[in-house]
Amino acid sequence: MSTGRARSTEGVVGAWAMALGALALVPGCGDAASPPPMMCQPGAFLRCADGGAVACAVSGTAEVTLPCPFGCSAELSGCRACQPFAKRCATPTRLLYCVADGSRQTDLDCDDGNPCTVASCHDDVCDHQPRADGTVCPIGTCISGECHCGHLGELCCGSDASCFDGLLCQQSSCGDCGGAGKPCCANGYCRSPLVCFSDGPNAGTCSS
């Protein structure tokens, strides 16, 4: 009888061994080391929710929500880099400006290229204050924040010493000279073929 019971026990143990072996062949069954199945692409943006960006965890088996201080954008597939249209002074002459979609900040130089204004950044805006009238600028002098030349009493323009409105350059400034009956310009110059009277009642004027 004891021999029969021993054979019976061996048969039960053998059956359990076969069953466990079959389970081991099924993914995730009987293998404690098997990782859980992946749900999503690790690191991929999934959606915006509650002001944050929902992304796939590194493991690919779960979702994580990342806080977005400036809000989440589906178009950008994640968090905005800055608040759209926000501005701030980065330096005394440069302004940082956030583009419309919040994807990046752009660095703007407040200098507008006008030699007759002083550019600066304060209170998060660019400001341009006019330089003092009479300040020398590349082509003449500054008047009300603009570079002027060539008009009556103004400096002659540029290297060719030109003037406007029929005026002529006289000792570096534009004057109403050199025309018929007009005062002679510097060095006794008159428009050709006029001549400058050197004596008499009309001395210092151009012939007519």
**Is 171 part of a structural domain of the chain?**
yes
Domain-terminating residue out of 130, 158, 193: 130
Q: What is the pTM for the complete model shown?
A: 0.55
What is the model's pLDDT at position 187?
76
Domain-terminating residue out of 63, 97, 130: 130
- Reading the block at residue 51, the tokens are 């002001």
DSSP secondary structure letters along 22-65: HHHTSTTSS-TTPPPPP-S-TT-EEEEETTEEEEE-TTSSSEEE
**Is 69 part of a structural domain of the chain?**
yes
CA separation, residue 134 to residues 97, 145, 161, 165 (Å): 35, 10, 18, 21
Return phi, psi of residue 88, to 5°: -160, 150
CA gyration radius, the chain: 44
| One domain, residues 164 and 193 | yes
Domain count, the chain: 3
Range of the domain at 203: 149-208
| One domain, residues 68 and 94 | no
Q: Quick one: which of 91, 93, 70 has its CA closest to 82?
A: 70
**Is 202 part of a structural domain of the chain?**
yes
What is the model's pLDDT at position 188?
83
| One domain, residues 55 and 103 | no
| One domain, residues 75 and 91 | no
**Is 67 part of a structural domain of the chain?**
yes
What is the model's pLDDT at position 170?
82
| One domain, residues 96 and 119 | yes
Ranges of the chain with pLDDT below 70? 1-34
**Is 144 part of a structural domain of the chain?**
no
Q: 23-78: per-residue pLDDT in tens? A: 344 444 445 566 778 889 999 999 999 989 999 999 999 999 999 999 999 999 99
**Is 33 part of a structural domain of the chain?**
no
**Is 14 part of a structural domain of the chain?**
no
**Is 30 part of a structural domain of the chain?**
no
One-letter amino acid of 162: S
Q: Are 48 and 55 in contact (CB under 8 A)?
A: no
| One domain, residues 170 and 192 | yes
| One domain, residues 162 and 200 | yes
